Structures are given as C-alpha cells and as structure tokens.
Structure 1
Amino acid sequence: MFQMVLRKIVWISTIALPLFSMIKIPRFRRMFTLRRSVNLRSLILWLCLSFVFLVLFSSLHAAYRVQQGLLLEQSVRVNQAYAERLAHASDDFLRSSAAVLKSAALDITAGQLDVAVIREEFKQVMEVTKAFDALVLVDVSGSVLAASPGAVFRNVALPLWPELFQGKAVPEPMVASAFQGGEGRWMTMVATPVFAPDGAYAGFIGGGMYLQSRSALQESLDKLSYEEGTYFRIVDGSQTIIYHPEQSQIGTTAQDVATVTEQPQITGRQSLPEPDEINPDQELVSVAAIPAAGWLVIAQRPTERVFANTSELLLRTLLLALPVFALSLLAIWYLSGLIASPLRQLATAAANLDNHADFRRIRFVKGWYVEAALIRQGLMQSFSAIGSRIRKLYQQGATDPLTGTMNRRGLDAALEEMTDAEQSVAVVMIDVDHFKAVNDRFGHALGDEVLKAIAELIMTQARREDVVARLGGEEFVVVLPETGLEAAGQFAERLRRAVAQTVFETVGSVTVSLGVACYPEHGNDLYEALALADAALYRAKADGRNRVHQVE
C-alpha cells in the first residue's frame, strides 16, 4: 500500500506536472498563467518546495526499493543457510545413530549371533540412546530374528537393501525411505550390516524411528524450527514427506517437489528478481540435501513476511530525515526572503520614479549578489539620467530661447516660491523705448541682437538670487527678493544709465523706461505688485521715456 502511494506521488511529480504544464490550449494557459500577485519570494518558495518534496519522495521511493532488494537478498541467504543447517544437523543425527548401531553389530557378531546376547545388546542400545523407537535384527532371508521389547514388526514390509544381501561393502549409513510400521504408524529406519564370526553376511540390525508423535527424530527437528513464518519439510527419494510441521502431512506424497526445486530465481542460485516482480503469495524456497539418507530439506518462507518490516524501516528513515528536512525548509524560507528583499525594494523605487525620496533610498539597498547590484546601479544611472533630462526640459520650458532669461512660465514658478516664503519683494518692469522703430529701420535680426544685449546688461546688474524674465516682445521684468522700494529704485536707475550709455552695433544708442513697485507695500500679492509696476512703467513712457517711475 505504501509503495503504491509513493509510486503515484512520484509519477505525478515527475510526469504528470511537466505534461500538464505543456498544454497548449489557450483556456488552460490563461487559467494557469502566473498572476501578477505572485511575488518573487513566493515563486522561489514554491519552486524550491516542489523540488524538495520531489527529491524527498524520490529518495524515499528509492530507499524503499533498495530496502526491499536488500531484505530479499538477505532473506534468500538466510533461508538457504537455514536449509543447509537443517540438512547438516539431520545428517549428523543419522550418522551418529548409525555409529551406535555399528557398535552394537560388532558386539552381536562377537556373541555368535546368540538371541540372548542380541536382546541384551538391544536393551543396552535403548538405554544408551533415545534415537531409536525400536530395534530389529533381520537375517539374510529377510526374516526378523529379534526385536526390542514393544516393537511390532509383524506383517510389516521392512526395507531391504539388495547390496547387503549381495555381501557388498556399504561405507555410508543405510537409511530407509518412509514406510508404515506397526499399527500403521509412519517410520524410517537406519541400518548397519551384521556379519557371522566367519565374516559371512548374516543380516542387518535396524533402528526404527517413528516420524509422528513425539519421537526422538521429531523432537530433534522441532528444535530447529525457525520463526517469522519460515517452515521446512524433509522428503525422501520417493517424494514421501518425512518431516512436516503438520504431522498429518507426514507420509503423504509431496507433489510440488519438482516445482520448488526448479525455481532458481527464488532459491538464489541465479540473479534475484525485482521485488515488485514477486507475487505476494509466492514463497522463498531453499533446498539442501541430506547425504546420509538421500533426502531433501525444503525450507520455505512467505515473501509477505520478508517485506513485513519495510514500511516500518521507511517510516524510521522518514523520521530521521525530518529534522534535516525542517531545517531545509527554514533555510529556503529565510534565503528566499534574503534574495527577494533587494529586488522588491528596487522594484518599489522603480514604480515611483517621481518620488525623490525613493531615489535616495536606492543607495541604501543591499545588493549583496551580482544581479541585484547591477539592477541597483542601472536604476541609479537611470534616475540620474531622467532627473537631468527633467531638469533640462524644465529649464528649456521656463527659459526664453532668444535671451536666455526666464519666460512667463518660469516667472510664475518663481513668484509662487517667493509667495510661499512670505518675504518682501521688489518688482522692476522694463520696456525698450521705440523698439518698433529699430525693427522697422534695421530689421528684426538686428532687433533681436539688441534684445539679447539688453538682457545681458540686465543680468549683469542683477544679483544671483534675482529673477530676470522676458514677458514678451521688448518687455522685461526683474524680481528682487528681500529688497525695499528705495534699493529697487536705485537698481532701476543704474540699469537705465547702463543701457543709455551702451552703443549697440549698427543700431547705436537705445534707451529703456522702467516702473518699480514693492510687495507687500504695493498690492495684496506679487501679481498685483507686478501690475502696479507695469502701470508705473507706462507713466514713465508717458512722461517722455528713458526714465524710472516708482509706485507711490
């Protein structure tokens, strides 16, 4: 179940999402297009978290598969070792039992095959070892000469070994296949030949072992039983079951012996299959031979028990990885904010180009990585270029292109600033006398040169903080902040004399008329003072020109 969930998550993360993102239908593209509300930090967080979860689940899935493979490989080795240990223990049991019988056979031979000696020897063997449930001596004709007390061999087809009757040497213990003894109980027999004093074959002594109830063989094999669902069977050469955890199966024919011994991929004799290729109902099967008897030990273990602890191991792996995973999430959250912070500050400043305070804040943005530093530098250069351009455009928009003095727009801005400052301001209106005659006689080009020369004279006489503007045609105005009426009159007189004493090329002498007013003495605001200075100018013209007239 857990493996199925992991597979679905990994499949969705690695295949479904990329395919889904490549959908070309406009409706879906519009639906899943990133909105403007998604900020850089959220984007970094989602991307990093997606990849972190993808790597986590992929790692868990890989660990799950590796753990399954290791458990399968280890279980196969353990199962095979278990089968070999069972076979070795059974072989040792049979060989030690045969050795006891061989010693008894020597004593019987020395006793001239006397029945009393045989019975006494049987009694001693039964007292020395509990390996046998019954003892029997069979002659060369196959007849029972003697048996241990309580042994029932009447009408029992005892196993006979042809090689013994032929007098051949038998180096290995002789172990019979399963047969039914007295009272129909299944048993096996270990035998060793008995010889007459002259060395002729006289028969064999057999030690019968019951395969059911609590026989010595049964108890010996039960001690070797393995936990965790593993069980084993022992079958003889005729595929009759010699041992089985369920005693009712003993003596029956094992129909699957050929099948289980032909599964090399499960017994580990060849390369192991992938864990997901194994049927849950399939079992691990290991086979080992018992040389003394020619029997087979078949050890089997359900695969579901092999993988029973995989989920628990995976959960422990996840718990061990959680602290690192949590620290990774915190690091991603912190670093995403650290990366996005300078870009967010720069974006805010870029969105408010007209805010001079934002421009100043750009200098304090920490561009700790190259891209942010380059963007900050670019924005500062852009802001500087834009500011210079704006100042240049403002200056061009507020400057008279002919004389270089302020135009009406520049004058209005200067008057608004002075009004806000609430300071005394003198206003001097200037008009060139008979300028139309200059244009008519010498042409507009020379007339423009006269205006430029007069503008230079005005700016020469004015202070740095004074405002000089051309109102149109041959009319100028000078605004003198923090200046009283008397000082303004003196300035106007100096300017009048300077113009009158200047000889203009080709044109000769030119005079100007001037009107002077002062705020707040004259008018309720600067514009009203400007109008009063203009009225004083016209009175100066009416009085004969080339003079200064002050508002009284």
Structure 2
Amino acid sequence: MLEQVISIIYASVTRRKYKLTLPMLLSALTALAVLLTLVVTLTASYHSQRQSLYDTTLQLNNTSATRMSLTMDSLFQSMHASLQTASAFLRDNPSLSEAGVLDHLEYSRKTSSYFNSIFWVNNKGIVKSISPPAIALKGKKLTTQASQEALAAKAPYVSTPYISATGRLIVLITEPVFDKQGSYQGYIGGTIYLHEKNILSTIFGSNLIDSAGSYFYVVDTTGKLVFHPDPDLLGDDVSANDVVRKLMKGFNGEEKVINTQGETFLAGFSNVTSNGWGIVVQSPVETIYEQLNRQIRSTAIYMGLPFLIIMLLAMFIARRLAMPFAALADYIGHAADGQSFSPPIKRNHWNREAFVLTQTVLGAVESMRKQSEELTHAALVDPLTGLLNRRALEEEMSKRAENEEPFSLVVLDIDRFKCVNDTLGHQVGDEVLKSLADVLNHSVRAHDMCCRFGGEEFVILLPGSGVEEAFHLAERIRLTIEKTATPANRVITVSLGIAAYPQHAADTNTLFKLADEALYAAKEAGRNRTMLAGQASSSDLQSKLPFSR
C-alpha cells in the first residue's frame, strides 16, 4: 500500500512537471505517517495480542488440567474404596454361597457405576465370581501379565492398558483380599473398558474437542494413552512427547509443545496423585493465529476511515482495541485464582471480535466452573440417599479436630439389614436406606451433619454436643425408626454407638473406632439400643430419659 501511494504521488508530479507544494507535501507526509502508524499499530497489536492469547490459553489449560486431575484423584479414591468394601465383605463372609458373592458383586457394580466389570480372583489366579456373569470367565485362570502382577502384588494395583482375556482394551484396578487370619485369598478387580462407555467418559462428557480445537487426554504412568478423543490411539505409547515425559517425572505446568504427529499446541498438564496418571489439556497454536488474523483484518477496516479522523483518533482507537483483551486477561487471572470478579462484558461492544472472544472465554470458564462444582458435589454426596458421604464426614471431623472444636459422633447400623436384602431384594433395601435417611434429616438440627458411611451404616456428627445430648438424640432417632412404617412392611430397628471429642479420644480415627465399637457392643447386647464408648451399657443415661424403655 505504501508503494502504491508513493507511485501515485510520483506519477502526478512527473505529469504536471512542477515541484511539490507544501500542502501536497504535508498531505503526502500525513498519508505516509498514517499508513506507517497503521502498519506499526497492526504489528504491535498482533504481537501483543498473540502473547496475551498465548498466556491466557496456557493459564486456562493449566487450570483445567489441575481441576480435572483433582476430580480424577477423588474418583480413583472412591473406586479403590468401593473395591475395599467388597474385599471386606468377602473377608467377613467366608462361608457365603457363590450366588451370594455374585449378588454382592452385581450390587457393587450397578450402584457405583465405577467399573464395567467386577470380579473375584482367588490366590491361584482363578476367577471365582464375575459381574456381569455374561462374561464367561468364571472358573478360568487369568494368565495376562497384568493379572499376574496384581496377584503377586498383594496390595492395591492399577495396570497399564492391555488386551484382556475377553479381547478388550482395559485398565485393571485391584484390591487384595485377606481372611480374618491375615491369609492372602486373592483380589477383587474392577475393569475400565477403554473402547466402550466407561466412568471416564461419563465424568468428563462426550464433547472431547471444542470449537477452537482444544481437547484433553490422559496418560498412565508409562506414557500410554488411557483417554483420548481419537479411540484408535488408546493404548498407544506417547512417552516421546515432552509434556508426557514431564508428567512421568511428576511435574505439573504449562508450555508450548510439539506432539508426536508434529503439531504445535499450547498445553497445561497436571498429575493425578492417587494413581500417577497425567492429564494434558491443549489447544492448537494455529487456532490462535486464526483468531489473531481475524482481529488484525478487523482492525485494519476500522482504521480505514478518512486520514484526518484516523490521525486524530489513532491513539484513542489503539487504546480501546487493547482494553477488551486487558480486561479479559484480568478476568482470566482472577478466575484462575478462584476469585469472584465481574465479567468484562458490554452488550453493544463496538469491537465484535473482542466481544465474541470474551463471550467464548466466559462461556468456557463458566462451563468449567459448573462442571467442577458438580463433580465436587458428586464426590461428597451419597447418590442413593442424598446424604453426605464418608469423605465429607472425614474432612469435617479433621477440620473440627484441627480447630479443637468439641463434637459427638453417633454411629448407627440397621439391625439384620442383610435379611431385608436377602428376602425382599436390594431394591427394597435401597428404599429402606432412603427412608432411614429421611428420618435422620428430620431428627437433627440444621447445623448437624448426617452421612451414609457405607452399606447400612450411618453417622451423625453433632457440633458442640456432649455425650448426654448425643444420647438423647440417638434414643429419639432409635424410637422414631422403630415406630416408622418402612418400605419393607416390617419393623426396622437400629443399633447405635456414641463417642465424643475430645472426651473419649484426641484424634478422629480413635474416636470413630470407639463409636464403632460401642455400636457393635449394642448389637451384641441384643440390638435396638444405644451404647456409649467405653461402657458396657448406657443404662444410667437411658434411665434419665422420659421415653426410656
């Protein structure tokens, strides 16, 4: 463009064969200055916006990877806890029939939805029971390397992706099974079918690649893909990738990277503490260049106004051009730090690209925030009863113990609940659990905490309450449950145990153990009663109650 203007001026002067006048010279210089300003402005704007977009994209991807790694960490802790529960069930029920074992495995798989299949392998490597039973492996010996490693480990184990005995690409997660004498009996295993719908696709959704080309993938400790938008790549070794190598060494961060296909991305990456896996969230650099090119073209059009107006308003326009991106960068910075900050939105913003980019980023941030809240809520709430779960209880107990705030625990367990499940079915059992949860919610104060600890065991945390107050509440709940009609159409009773902090114990583990021991003392004493920690009976307190039996 500069060359064209200069050529026109030169041709005009040559044809007319007279020297340039001052107005013409000033006009030419002004035009030249405006064009130079335009070039400089566009160049500076390009580099500034490119760096801003680079930094913003890296921050967003790093934040996303970190949040997803925390979510996956909570998920795997819950998965191991589910397998530990099944292991404890087998330990406590050594004479259970094969049908009973299968029923429990079916129940565990269907209620948690963590695994595509769950199975029990004895210490000889032979499958004793498997859910779903349609997988014809019962009675067969597993010979895959992962199965042998899990059997030999005698400890919690997570495999790399491998082809199973059924021909599927899977990841195996196991927990050891020991009998009451501590003798190793094999393991409980749960599988994730990588090429089929699984817990990872359920949690992280099906929108794996967004409109900007950004996506994420998950690698295991050896650099093999366990989750990726392209299912054909699952199980591939991508340890040659610089980011993956850093994940394998335990590093977290963000950087520009070239993947194994030679494509350049801006990546954020984070390790998952519980299993050593790594999550990478990345955006293609070419998308950022496309956004920059659109912005530069738009800027050039806006600055194509008459020379005089552009010359007077050039600095003002340049400043206004930068404002949306600076505001957006500030917003992303605050959002990445978890702070509340007003979104930089104007309904009729004159810069369309800035508005579209702002709306896009705001939508992405809000979507990730909602997803994070939903996953956090799901990690702390029991899906069947709607009560808080074991993890929420342990966090609350630890917090109160650290602050030395007194509280009491009431641990209760449904008497002969197994009989309800065995005679009426697990569906009726589930309705009984929900009915009991409803009684608990209506019996406690607003600031008390009701939790389903596992199976038919529930825990109530009473902030600021002593033993006597906890005993009154426990007895009121016991009598209410005994008199309440249930979906089982039979009388349901509960046994309860109570312990208080710091009266009975100075740490939460000991406190819960004492409350649990009191619960089982109540069961041994005949069930349908309340016992205090460290006492053979609770008759002294019970005799003070107006409704004592």
Bin the TM-score by the shorter chain. Answer: 0.3 to 0.5
User: Normalising by the residue count of structure 1, what TM-score does the alignment of the two structures yield?
Assistant: 0.47
